[in-house]
Amino acid sequence: MAHLIFNTLYVFFIVLEMILFLYVITSWFPINNRIKSILVTLIDPILMPVRYLLKHSIFNTPAADLSPVISFVIILFLQEFFYVLK
């Protein structure tokens, strides 16, 4: 049973990683607003806490938004963690 839960969480973080990657790609290129709003709705709950922490840290830079990069690293860490557990 635990194997199934860990495997499901591993796949969840893979999908989350893909959604975050699509979010980053769509921020560089002009794309349909509907697709972009769906991606923002899906990924915003992950980026907002990271943005809050960055806003109150020494990495508060107006030039670049580092929250997708930091979120990507956190997701990769959690993905590897659940891969080892499964």
The pTM of this model reads 0.84
- What pLDDT digit, counting tens, does each position of 60-83 carry? 778 888 899 999 999 999 999 988
Contact of 86 with 7, CB cutoff 8 Å: yes
Residue whose pair of structure tokens reads 């840290």 in the numeric block: 57
With bands split at pLDDT 50, 70 and 90, how would you rate the model's confidence at 45?
very high
**Distance of alpha carbon 38 from its chain centroid, rounded?**
14
Residue whose pair of structure tokens reads 């499901």 in the numeric block: 8
Distance between CA atoms of residues 7 and 83, nearest Å: 7
- What pLDDT digit, counting tens, does each position of 6-42 carry? 899 999 999 999 999 999 999 888 888 898 999 999 9
